């Protein structure tokens, strides 16, 4: 059987190769399900949303989780999925737990750790527990110290396509189930790639059904400019406009910069506030996705307070 069946073209460019199973279940007629209303989306449309990556490396027990939620104030809590390919916690399990506190959540789901069946079950869980957003991304390779192999069942555009089908009440088995409101499907973009290359990658994910994007970590004003350039290039393929959440590390100290450069992330001497000003001027920006660098929870909370005050001062 051919691996890929349906191909979407635009201006001679292959935008999206759809998995044959998704092509088949996509033929099933269903009602269009509206996305869940959320405070995060309202703030995103204003360009003032603040997403906060949940510090899984600093969490030891449930008391730590309660402490984080009592001392932080974010429009959306994002939960990474085994960053750097090292096992941590289940992102959907953490998201489910956080929902009991009345906060808005976005677990990351990665392709390299799950086959199609596992992804489908995670996405149905997202519907059941009323997640606001789910981020679909390729994910980091398994750690070199672990004898684990990556899974290549679906690429990120097909993950997004699968999410949109399940969020509309259709399972890969062709079974239908009731959905009152659905989560939004988010994709990732990399401002460290050439804009013309990244524009095609974004176009594929938009074709698959992405409704917003979270960037890879940005550490310079020049990277903000490349985000803008990529979306200018995107106009060659589509006029669809979606918001972009710009991911920022705090703090970016001199000792962390060599590691970032090894990961392909450009660094420089721009301050956190200068980068925020560039984001504020970016007309497609929905806000910022903040990632705090600390394994010590008390230090993490102090850094959160510093960064949040700077974000609110600039973005309002």
Whether pLDDT at 70 is above 80: yes
Give per-residue pLDDT as tens, 143-184: 766 778 888 889 999 999 999 999 999 999 999 999 999 999
Give per-residue pLDDT as tens, 93-102: 999 999 999 9
Give per-residue pLDDT as tens, 20-57: 899 899 999 888 899 999 999 999 999 999 999 999 98
What is the pLDDT confidence band of residue 15, given thresholds at 50, 70 and 90?
low
Give per-residue pLDDT as tens, 234-280: 998 888 889 999 999 999 888 878 877 887 788 888 899 999 999 99
Residue 129: phi, psi to the nearest 5?
A: -100, 15
Handedness of CA 241, 282, 229, 74 (dihedral sign): negative
pLDDT over 70 percentage in the chain = 94
pLDDT at 142: 78
Span 190-207, average pLDDT: 92
Give per-residue pLDDT as tens, 3-14: 333 444 444 445
Nearest Cα to Cα of residue 279 among 74, 44, 106, 40:
44
Alpha helices in 30-171 (DSSP H): 39-46, 62-71, 91-99, 116-128, 156-167
223 domain-assigned: yes
Is 160 exposed, middle or buried, given 0-12, 13-18 or 19+ CB atoms closer than 10 A? buried
The answer to whether 112 touches 95, Cβ cutoff 8 Å, is no
Residues 6 or more apart in contact with residue 102 via CB below 8 angstroms: none
Span 183-198, average pLDDT: 95
85 domain-assigned: yes
What is the pLDDT confidence band of residue 125, given thresholds at 50, 70 and 90?
very high
Query: Which CATH number belongs to the domain containing residue 53 in this structure?
Result: 3.20.20.220
pLDDT at 268: 83
What is the pLDDT confidence band of residue 208, given thresholds at 50, 70 and 90?
very high
pTM of whole model > 0.85? yes
Domain carrying residue 261:
6-12+20-315
pLDDT at 223: 94
1 domain-assigned: no
pLDDT at 82: 81
Tally of structural domains, the chain: 1
pLDDT at 238: 85
- Distance between CA atoms of 252 and 272, rounded to whole angstroms? 8
pLDDT at 112: 85
89 domain-assigned: yes
């Amino acid at each position: 059987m051919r691996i890929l069946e349906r191909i979407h073209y635009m201006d001679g460019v292959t935008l999206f190769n759809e998995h044959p199973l998704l092509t088949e279940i996509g033929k099933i007629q269903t009602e269009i399900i509206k996305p869940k209303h959320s405070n995060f989306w309202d703030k995103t449309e204003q360009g003032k949303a603040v997403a906060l990556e949940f510090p899984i490396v600093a969490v030891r027990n449930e008391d730590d989780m309660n402490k984080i939620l009592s001392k932080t104030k974010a429009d959306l809590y994002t939960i990474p999925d085994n960053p750097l390919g090292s096992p941590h916690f289940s992102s959907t399990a953490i998201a489910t737990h956080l929902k009991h506190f009345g906060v808005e959540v976005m677990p990351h789901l990665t392709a390299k750790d799950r086959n199609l069946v596992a992804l489908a079950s995670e996405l149905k869980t997202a519907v059941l527990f009323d997640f606001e957003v789910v981020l679909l991304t390729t994910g980091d390779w398994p750690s070199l110290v672990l004898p684990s192999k990556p899974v290549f069942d679906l690429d990120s555009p097909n993950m997004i396509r699968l999410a949109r089908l399940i969020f509309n009440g259709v399972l890969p088995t062709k079974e239908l189930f009731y959905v009152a409101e659905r989560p939004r499907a988010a994709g990732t973009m990399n401002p460290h790639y050439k804009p013309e290359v990244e524009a095609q990658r974004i176009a594929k994910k938009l074709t698959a059904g992405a409704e917003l994007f979270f960037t890879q970590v940005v550490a310079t004003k020049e990277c903000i400019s490349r985000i803008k350039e990529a979306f200018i290039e995107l106009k060659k393929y589509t006029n669809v406009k979606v918001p972009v959440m710009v991911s920022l590390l705090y703090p970016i100290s001199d000792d962390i910069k060599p590691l970032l450069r090894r990961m392909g992330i450009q660094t420089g001497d721009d301050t956190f506030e200068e980068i925020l000003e560039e984001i504020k001027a970016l007309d497609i920006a929905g806000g910022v996705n903040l990632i705090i660098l600390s394994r010590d929870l008390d230090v993490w909370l102090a850094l959160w307070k510093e960064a949040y005050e700077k974000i609110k001062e600039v973005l309002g």
